[in-house]
Chain A
Amino acid sequence: MLRVEAQTRLGALALDVALDVQPGECLALAGPSGAGKTSVLRVAAGLLRPERGLVEAGGETWLDTTRGVDVPPERRRCGYVFQEYALFPHLTAWQNVAYPLRGVPRRQRRERALGLLERFGMRELADARPRTLSGGERQRVALARVLAREPGVLLLDEPLSALDARTRAGAARELASVLRQVETPALLVTHDFAEAAQLGDRVGVIDSGRVIQEGTPSELAAAPRSAFVADFTGAVVLTGVARSGPNGLTHVELDGGGAVTSTDRGDGPVAVSVYPWEIAIEPAAAARPPGSTQNHVSAEVLSVTRIGNRVRLGLRGPQPLAAEITGVSADQLGLRAGAQVIASWKASATRLVAI
């Protein structure tokens, strides 16, 4: 279990956070640049000492400013994955992974390092220098290296941002899988909410040094506490089970009931995402328009939030949903909390990501 509390000034920013991460859980802090996300990680790792703060991990107190306790980074069992991976350029991949293995005889160090690389499918590249590896390969070496430390806490700084778009999808899947397998609490920061939603069990939206809202990705998207959160969270994320259907479409049974169709390929458990502004809202009583390429979900309006000339609707269906429509439409429909509506969107606007 990881607890991080920090209150400190960083230039013009006033950081004030208090977070808990349970064992086996991944808390993703998502926010724009300059929000203070990386500083939270650095406080947890001992690379930044806040004016007031507390860091407790696995029963040990790593930082307690009230009692003058400040364990140096090298004695905190953290696994910190840096944004650009910080692989040592003069060491090969396996030597990088073996770096945290102190006091272990050389033969065993190499074997253990190779074992970890094997787990990430990197064994053949064990003798390569980082500069010859691709972004995705470097990320895997960085992960292997961090796991070699047998850390009590995992800290990840924008783990996917250094990758190109094509590599990112695969890397995200791998990382999500690794995070699920390890029992340690993981704290991850990113500027991309979709990434946070995919990798984190819970997401905290952070801006200007404070966590504005914390919850599951769906909760945040469905019931944003402020315009900022609403704007930041972007897509709605649903879960379900997919199988191939007729006409090249994929049929997804949503958890909790209901079904949608997608033009994406998918098979097995998937996360379904659609952007709120691609969802159309009509009163439940209206006649259903025909067309099998439209997804329909019945829902009840939970919240109506105005953002400029748009309105974000928090909806409760079999799973939480959010829709964004123009202020004019919202007025015309006379929407209030409790109203019953039908949320519709195109199969082509439905993205699937295997989980």
Chain B
Amino acid sequence: MLLLLLAGCGGDDARLVVSAASSMAGALTACSGDFDAADVRLSFAGSDELAAQIRQGVKPDVYAAANTTLPDELNKEGLLSKPVEFATNELVIAVPKDSEIESVHDLAGDGVKLAIGSESVPIGSYTREVLARLPGPESDAILANVRSNEPDVKGIVGKLTQGAADAGLVYVTDVNAAGDKLRAVELPAELEPDVTYAAGVVKGAKQPDEARDFVDGLSDGACADALAEAGFGAP
């Protein structure tokens, strides 16, 4: 992404650099071509990694995260405009198509291999919220089955599609994106965390106006439609 910023400007269209959480990869890639005001360059990674880069001085135009915490923090630090909540997502248990796992309680079973997000990435912190709402022994048993703390959802999905892990906690949009390789097991409503996505314009962005338009478009525009199609919910 750094190289993108270092590269000279080319073409007639202004270039808009958007850093977004991995879970939005499919949807945003599909809709970014429809953004007329500028040529959109997308960069996906864990929301925490993108936030760290902004703190180190990297300046994309838009930052879209898988939680509200990180954008709020950046806003308080004066690095981001006031964040706008533009979508919600649902945490689910993803399993291979032919898995016998039917509920969250099955995750505590003997020999179940789990892949979840690392603590510092939103998917990881949401997962730990879920586990914290479970009774202690069950939560411990599930944690004991964790075999990998992945830096982003892509890694979790990869472990599942490769058959390395038996189950993982990801967003329902990720299961959708994986086609028919994975199946989603719903979490009981009382465990479901509040997964709200928020975005803002980075202070010092090169194209602040186009950035504002893009952020607005996440709530109401081509990208909003694409997100809905991918399975994201309304804010």
Task: Please say whether the chains A and B touch (CB closer than 8 A).
Answer: no
* Chain B contacts to A: CB under 8 angstroms: none
* Chain A contacts to B: CB under 8 angstroms: none
